[in-house]
Amino acid sequence: MPIRQNPILPGFNPDPSICRVGEDYYIATSTFEWFPGVQIHHSKDLANWALLTRPLTRKSQLDMRGNPDSCGIWAPCLTHDGEKFWLVYTDVKRKDGNFKDAHNYIVTSDEITGPWSDPIYVNSSGFDPSLFHDDDGKKWFINMLWDHREGYHRFAGIALQEFDAVAGTLVGERKNIFKGSPLKLVEGPHLYKRDGWYYLLTAEGGTGYEHAATLARSRNIDGPYELHPDMYLVTAKDNPLNPLQRAGHGDIVETPDGQTYLVHLTGRPTTQKRRCVLGRETALQKCEWRADGWLYLVGGTNLPASEVDVPGTYDQAGFDAERRYDFKGELPIDFQWLRTPEPERIFRLEGGKLILIGRESIGSWFEQALVARRQTHFDFEAETEVSFEPRDEREMAGLTGYYGRYNFHYLHLTADPDGQRELNIFSSVVSHPDGKLTYWIDPVPVGVGPVRMKMRVENSALQYFYAQGSDDWQKIGPELDASILSDECGGHAEHGSFTGAFVGMAAQDLNGTAREAGFSHFVYRPL
């Protein structure tokens, strides 16, 4: 079989849930505060994956204004019951302190591309929900239980309760069926049934470098569950030099010819700082059922492999090709924005340009005009051209490398108090909890007309450039540390920061007059 390099979904695609319908495979991943919610990729061969849709597109389904960084959509679960698709997700409104305000919903669709229904509210007892369709027709809702009390473990176990699909509500008794292994922090549950056994796959150890996927089984759906002979189906926690780290949170799928694969979360740290700039990604492992009735990774170890045998041949050249985006018609699918379900308040496409409507400051948790795509390569260039007439220093537009409120770099066109246009660069450099800015240069005056902007990232060094008209690119500012755009540098490090690096266009009007900036194109060029 052909070899595919891991990860199969590079760049900020965490918490994968996989579903096969006939010859088609679908993977749903978390999107956190980025809108629209939930990414669904499609494949026919497990090798080549294309972003197909984001189902949570309207206010009735998702409104994340005010959600802190790394809240929003956690760990969706995508299933098909033979009739329609079911998508289960959490909208997390708070993650700090003793409490987690985590609301769980279900949407459905006859087709993967929609239309998707308005949500059914299910519960708020904990996050990482999933739905299991038993062979007797019953449906079971499972999620981790959160315990806010002092003296008790926050990750209290895996809750199971029957879901009445007709009434759209939970029925019967809620049971705590599994409290995890000694690694603790049990979450991310998925249920399966095989040869009369119920198998429960969970994530444990937190989503940092101690992460693991744990497998258990029982003859009864409500337990008791016994642990796998190796306890963990996949983990890199004891192998710090393995290229794939932070391995855990996964899901299982079977091919039409009976082969079994595991998709799972992973991260690829760079440099001795061990920062995963591309965020938490999705990897694939081939598995086998052995005579003892347990699932194992092929190869005799639970260490995630960098290569996997798959049915198809991967198009590496296609992945590494330059992406040139114009802004005619609809916003290209690679781009997202932050939190708001009312995109018309922050952007529109007009006259072949992306028009950003200046709103709140960069890093706002409510309404900021920032449209960006994922960084999917360690080394790349991104460039754009902005037309903007700022009136003072409170109006800005430009090119940003962005992780969240406390971690970003921003080259922007602005003006001095007299209205003279100038370029400046500031960053928020691992600034939690203060959110203070670091300015890198004295402002650079620029003449009339559009300004071209470019950023180059090589070996975690970020360099900005600018130009006007037919002029050659000029460096502006020093080399900056691109590795700060990582979970490890987020507000709460890898156990509380969950997204990944984005690159994109932004505009702010702190005067509150909605000053507009036009972007003619965007280029993403792997190096």
Q: Say whether both 300 and 358 belong to one domain.
A: no
How far apart, in whole angstroms, are the C-alpha atoms of residue 182 and residue 204?
A: 9
Provide the residue type at 448 as one letter. Answer: V
The reply to whether 136 and 154 lie within a common domain is yes
Rg (CA), the chain: 23
CB 122 within 8 A of CB 104: yes
Element (H, E) at 79: strand 72-80
| Same domain (yes/no): 349, 258 | no
pLDDT at 271: 82
Kindly state the tokens that stand for 294: 């347990």
Whether residue 311 is found in the same domain as residue 327: no
375 shares a domain with 508: yes
Report the CATH number that the domain containing residue 41 is assigned in CATH. 2.115.10.20
Of 162, 254, 360, 367, catalytic: 367
CATH number at residue 344: 2.60.120.200
The mean pLDDT value for 37-53 works out to 98
- State percent of the chain over pLDDT 90: 97
Nearest CA to 245 out of 253, 254, 255, 235 is that of 235
Residues 281 and 340 in one domain: no
> Which residues are registered as beta bridge partners of 350?
353
For residues 214-219, average pLDDT: 98
SS3 content of the chain, % helix, strand, coil (to 5): 5, 50, 45
Does 329 share its domain with 294?
no
Q: Same domain for 295 and 357?
A: no
The per-residue pLDDT for 7 is 98
Q: What is the largest CA-CA distance in the chain?
A: 78
Mean pLDDT of the chain: 97
* pLDDT digits 0-9 by tens, 319-351: 999 999 999 999 999 999 999 999 999 999 999
Query: What is the rounded distance in angstroms from the CA atom of residue 91 to the CA atom of residue 31?
Result: 10
Q: Kindly tell me if the per-residue pLDDT of 488 is higher than 90.
A: yes
Per-residue burial over 253-269, b if 16 or more Cβ lie within 10 Å, else e, is: beeeeebbbbbbbbbbb
Structure confidence by residue, pLDDT tens digits, 489-525: 988 888 889 999 999 999 999 999 999 999 999 999 9
Question: What are 57-75's pLDDT values in tens digits?
Answer: 999 999 999 999 999 999 9
Give me the mean pLDDT over the 417-441 stretch: 96
426 pLDDT more than 90: yes
By C-alpha distance, which of 507, 511, 521 is closest to 346? Answer: 507
Same domain, 341 and 475: yes
Do 275 and 417 lie in one domain? The reply is: no
Summarised one tens digit per residue, pLDDT across range 296-319 is: 999 999 999 999 999 999 999 999
Whether residues 97 and 246 share a domain: the answer is yes
Whether residue 298 is found in the same domain as residue 419 = no
Q: Which residues contact 241 (CB under 8 A, 6 or more apart)?
A: none
Say whether the peptide bond before residue 445 is cis (omega within 30 degrees of 0): no
What burial letters (b/e) apply to 169-182, b meaning 16+ CB within 10 Å? ebeeeeeebbebbe
Neighbours of 224 (CB within 10 A): 10
State CA 137 to chain mean position distance.
Answer: 32
Listed residues 298, 319, 340: the one ending a domain: 319
Domain boundary among 271, 304, 319: 319
Neighbours of 513 (CB within 10 A): 11
In this model, does residue 380 exceed pLDDT 90? Answer: yes
Rounded CA gap, 215 and 507, in Å?
Answer: 47
Other C-beta atoms lying within 10 Å of the C-beta of residue 397:
27
- What local confidence, expressed as pLDDT, does residue 495 receive? 85
Whole-number Å distance between alpha carbons of 243 and 416 = 47
Are the beta carbons of 206 and 177 closer than 8 angstroms?
no
Q: Which residue's structure tokens are 């993650």? A: 95
Paired sense of beta strands 139-146 and 438-439, if any: unpaired
DSSP 487: G
Share of the chain above pLDDT 70, in %: 100
Q: Please give the average per-residue pLDDT across 455-471, as a whole number.
A: 96
Buried b / exposed e over 308-335, threshold 16 CB at 10 Å, is bebbeebeeeeeeeeeebebeeebeeeb
Residue-wise pLDDT for 82-135, tens only, equals: 999 999 999 999 999 999 999 999 999 999 999 999 999 999 999 999 999 999
367 is catalytic: yes
Tokens of 503: 């690159």
The tokens describing 26, both together, are: 């679908």
Q: What is the mean pLDDT of residues 196-211?
A: 97
Question: Which residues does 290 contact at the CB level (< 8 Å), separation at least 6?
Answer: 296
Q: Which of 256, 289, 319 is a domain's end point?
A: 319
> What does the pLDDT read at residue 507?
98
> What domain count does the chain have?
2
Task: Choose among 430, 343, 354, 265: nearest CA to 64.
Answer: 343
Domain that holds residue 327: 323-526
